[in-house]
Amino acid sequence: MKTNLVALLAGIIFGLGLALSQMIDPNKVLNFLDVTGNWDPSLAFVMMGALAVSMFSFRFILKRPAPVLESGFHVSKQVSINRPLLIGAALFGIGWGMSGYCPGPAVASLGLLSVEGIVMVVAIYAGFFSHRWFARK
């Protein structure tokens, strides 16, 4: 119960952050990726703001034996730099550059009743399910 409330609250704060920083606006994101055009470095500052807080907090949090409300941390233990990682990240970047949306802003933009956001979220799930289907073969 408490963990569900935490998830809702964390989602709200994340969504407010995306809206305040305008990362919910796909044009703002594309202007960051448009390094040879009218470049807008804002997205890099969003990452710096997020990393300033999380790099500091994660060091202390991950020293704990367990999180406050659960019995253990769910943290990826993968370390290898392999082909799926790099090919997947490359494909993700191409889709991001085509649309201007990564998953967080796509979901948050549903709150603005964005038709683009709805199409984007459905297309992302189509990608998830296709990947699962191919991975099973």
Partner 1 sequence: MENFTPVSALLGGALIGLSVSLLLLLNGRMAGISGIMNGLFSAPKKEEVWRGLFLLGLILGAVFFQLLTNNSLQLRQGYPIALIILGGFLVGVGTRMGSGCTSGHGICGIANFSIRSIMATMTFMLTGMVTVFIIKHLLGVA
Q: By CB under 8 A, is residue 65 in contact with partner 1? A: no
Environment class of residue 79 by beta-carbon count within 10 Å: exposed (0-12), middle (13-18) or buried (19+)?
Answer: exposed
Helix or strand (DSSP H, E) at 10: helix 2-20
Q: Looking at residues 27 to 46 of the shown chain, list those that interact with partner 1 (rule: CB under 8 A).
A: 27-28, 30-31, 33-43, 45-46
By the 8 A CB rule, do 32 and 102 touch?
no
Q: Does 133 bind partner 1 (CB under 8 A)?
A: no
Q: Which of 22, 63, 136, 137 binds partner 1 (CB under 8 A)?
A: 22
Among 63, 81, 136, 137, binds partner 1 (CB under 8 A): 81
Residues numbered 86-105 forming contacts with partner 1, rule: CB under 8 A: 86-104
| 137 part of the interface to partner 1, by CB under 8 A | no
